[in-house]
A and B are shown apart, each in its own frame.
Chain A
Amino acid sequence: DAKTTQPPSMDCAEGRAANLPCNHSTISGNEYVYWYRQIHSQGPQYIIHGLKNNETNEMASLIITEDRKSSTLILPHATLRDTAVYYCIVSRGAGGTSYGKLTFGQGTILTVHP
């Protein structure tokens, strides 16, 4: 699976948009970009995923660059409860062996402050 690079930490004011970047320059054509987050002492929580197109759901938006080498997770109106570690993961698609397992890096610690 392609490696990802994320900033170790970011701050955001409550009510503002949080934009979390991720670089995945070696991503291959059938690999998806997934975002998960982990709130302290809990298991990871799925947020959103995408292949080529931008995606939006009730939690967040995912913007993937045209060359697919980077992406940005957007939390449109961050709250204190969004304070967590955010993981950007690239996972191989069909055709490979053992596809489906997720490789978690260190992620970005997002701190939302009042």
Chain B
Amino acid sequence: GAGVSQSPSNKVTEKGKDVELRCDPISGHTALYWYRQRLGQGLEFLIYFQGNSAPDKSGLPSDRFSAERTGESVSTLTIQRTQQEDSAVYLCASSHEIAFWTGENIQYFGAGTRLSVL
């Protein structure tokens, strides 16, 4: 079946512009995550959606970052007034609802959006 799809695959923008990144999770997956990966670094957690629960926004680096999710489908990550330090690969992952008793959670990742802020 189809995996996690992200678009665009590459985005070049000028400092100060807003950008919107899109993620289509695997059908039926109720949990959705956004991560950021700077060049040569590990992944940083940004935000997590689980069904109709309030999202966990604890990883968002500033109020310029926001994300929305429509039901259990598409999510968009918006970065306002982009800065050069926002340049990174933005990765989206989805998973089945986390097993209630065990907390097991296997995440499936998209290929990412490479954002370059000039």
Interface residues of B, CB < 8 Å — how many?
A: 32
The 8 A CB mask of B59-97 against A (1 = contact, 0 = none) is 100000000000000000000000000000001010100
Verify A101–B106 contact, CB threshold 8 A.
Answer: no
Interface residues of A, CB < 8 Å — how many?
A: 28
List chain B positions with a Cβ less than 8 A from chain A.
4, 31, 33, 35, 41-45, 48, 50, 56, 58-59, 91, 93, 95, 98-112
The stretch of A12-20, A41-49, A71-79 in contact with B is: A41-49
List the B side residues contacting A101 at CB < 8 Å. 33, 45, 48, 56, 59
Number of A-B residue pairs, CB cutoff 8 Å, is 76
Interface of chain B, helix or strand or loop or mixed? loop
List chain A positions with a Cβ less than 8 A from chain B.
30, 32, 34, 41-46, 49, 51, 87, 91-96, 98-107
The smallest beta-carbon distance between B62 and chain A, in angstroms, is: 19
A30 to B112, CA, bound (A): 30
Verify A98–B48 contact, CB threshold 8 A.
Answer: yes
Q: Which of B56, B101, B106 contacts A49 (CB 8 A)?
A: B106
Chain A residue nearest to B45 (CB atoms) is A101
Interface of chain A, helix or strand or loop or mixed? loop
